[in-house]
Amino acid sequence: MSAPSLVLGTAGHIDHGKSSLVHALTGTDPDRLKEEKDRGITIELGFARLELPSGRAMGVVDVPGHEKFVRQMVAGATGIDVVMLVIAADDGVMPQTREHLAILDLLGVDTGVVALTKIDLVEPDWIELVSADIAALLVGTGIEGAPIVPVSSRTRQGVDELLKVLDEVATDAPSKHANLPMRLPVDRVFTIAGAGTVVTGTMWSGSATKDDLVEIYPERVDARVRGVQVHSTAVERAHAGQRVAMNVAGVERDQISRGDIIAAPGTLTVTDRFDARFTYLGLPGDDRPFETGARVHVNHGTREVLGRVLLMDGVESLAPGQSALTQIRLEEPLAPRFDDRFIVRSYSPVYTIGGGVVLDALPPRRTNLKDHERELLDALLAHDLSSASVGLLAARALPMSSAEVAAALGVPRAQVADELNKAKLERLKIGTETAFIT
């Protein structure tokens, strides 16, 4: 069996050499906009294909490092398996280094390598000092203990060693959810003469092939897959963990936008609120608590919307480092799934202040939990599918089919059906479907 497909994402402060390093590793210049060339910084996401010494290939997502473009960074970091944290030896750890590291932690990225760039500009003893600072910075993060590889894109010193380390790290990276329904967050949309609408993104789960029927969320527009490409090559089927270009039929360019999700029909729920476990990081050098009801930017997948974070059960505030059950209320709809990660950024000035994990994607509007609602959230936190399936029925207090429960939990229908059939539940026939109720 071939190794699962993986996506490598860059992270790091502006002008620390992320794009130059990607160019040195892949031979592809990820800076694709004239403005990026003129200004010498990455504004949009760049993409490349990396051949590792073992023969394995990785997709590469190069993200911007400027503080004004953190939204694009979050979009790029969504769906990556391995991070390459880029830190310039002459600068050391900088503000966006810390912010990007916090975002990666909140997104659950726990496999990575540090590329210590621009080593041709400093003395060897300085490289040792900066490496020690970086190792200390990583303590307590998801990539604590990650290898630190000194490298110069200009002289190519260390490039081969970095490729070797990336190959080793990729071997240990967790595989994507190939058994879950297909889901592709859209990060680019364009049209090609004679082909029509094309979208790109990182395949989060499942797979897609020509003539598959799909649904575009949150608009709920039906479409069909006309063809798929991986790294600019037409393939029979695109899989989870790959950078994918998808030609979609039955949809006009103005019916789909960056931030939408293309998924298997009927597998997602569209919502203006979701229950979550939220962790508050605070602002740099600021110990002020997070107040319930604060208006924030919510980043999920490649979409950003405004919303409010409501703390549950009478909790009024959180100190930096604290977590709580919350209901996130949105000003525009999203299509999240149980166990998705999200980022929260302050309303103004905009800075990453926290994030968390989606629990119930379609809850009632409330902040005071009843016993069965708390039991449901506890089961979801514990990934107890059996208790969560039954708990969801109790929380909704309405008949639900196994397909509806599966969509709410983001798991295969067969898996949910097994759990519901084991439970002692009342069954109702609604059309051709069997519905369950507690």
- What digits encode the pLDDT tens for the residues 309-359? 999 999 999 999 999 999 999 999 999 999 999 999 999 888 889 999 999
pLDDT tens-digit readout, 88-119: 999 999 988 998 898 888 888 899 999 999 99
Q: Which of 379, 424, 388, 394 is nearest to 406 (CA)?
A: 388
Cα–Cα distance for residue pair 110/169, rounded to 1 Å:
11
Indicate the pLDDT class of residue 44, thresholds 50, 70 and 90: very low
Helix, strand, coil fractions of the chain, as percent rounded to 5 = 25, 35, 40
Angle between helices 402-409 and 413-422 (to 10 degrees): 120
Q: Which domains does the chain have, with CATH numbers?
A: 6-172 (3.40.50.300), 183-263 (2.40.30.10), 274-327+337-358 (2.40.30.10), 378-437 (1.10.10.10)
The Cα–Cα gap between 8 and 18 comes to 12
- Percentage of the chain exceeding pLDDT 90: 53
Can you give the pLDDT at residue 69? 44
CA angle 93, 14, 137 (to 5 degrees): 20
- CA atoms in the 13 A half-sphere facing the CB of 1: 4
Instruction: Report the pLDDT averaged over residues 35-49.
Output: 48
Cis preceding linkage at 284, omega within 30 = no
Q: Supply the pLDDT for residue 38.
A: 45
Cβ neighbours of residue 232 closer than 8 Å, sequence gap 6 or more:
245
Average pLDDT, stretch 382-408? 87
pLDDT for residue 70: 60
Q: What is the bridge-based pairing of β-strands 213-217 and 221-230?
A: antiparallel
pLDDT per residue as tens digits for the range 404-436: 888 888 777 888 888 888 887 888 887 778 888
pLDDT at 3: 57
DSSP string, 322-386: -EEEEEEEEEEEE---TT-EEEEEESSS--EEEEEEE--SS--S-SS--HHHHHHHHHHHTT-HH
Q: What's the full length of the chain, in residues? A: 438
When pLDDT is cut at 50, 70 and 90, the band that residue 233 belongs to is confident
pLDDT at 64 > cutoff 60: no
Mean pLDDT calculated for residue range 139-164: 96
Q: Taking phi first (over 0 means left), then psi (-120 to 50 degrees means alpha), and beta for anything else, what does residue 10 get? A: beta
pLDDT value for 78: 66
Query: Tell me: the pLDDT tens digits for 20-33?
Result: 898 899 887 654 43
CB atoms within 10 A of CB 397: 11
Query: In 3-state terms, what secondary structure has residue 183?
Result: strand
3-state SS class at 165: helix
**Exposed/middle/buried for residue 32 (C-beta within 10 Å: 0-12, 13-18, 19+):** middle
Let me know: does 220 contact 237? Beta carbons within 8 Å: no
How many angstroms separate the most distant Cα atoms in the chain?
75
Question: How far lies 160's CA from each of 57, 105, 166, in Å?
Answer: 15, 28, 10
Q: What pLDDT, on a 0 to 100 scale, did the predictor assign at position 2?
A: 55
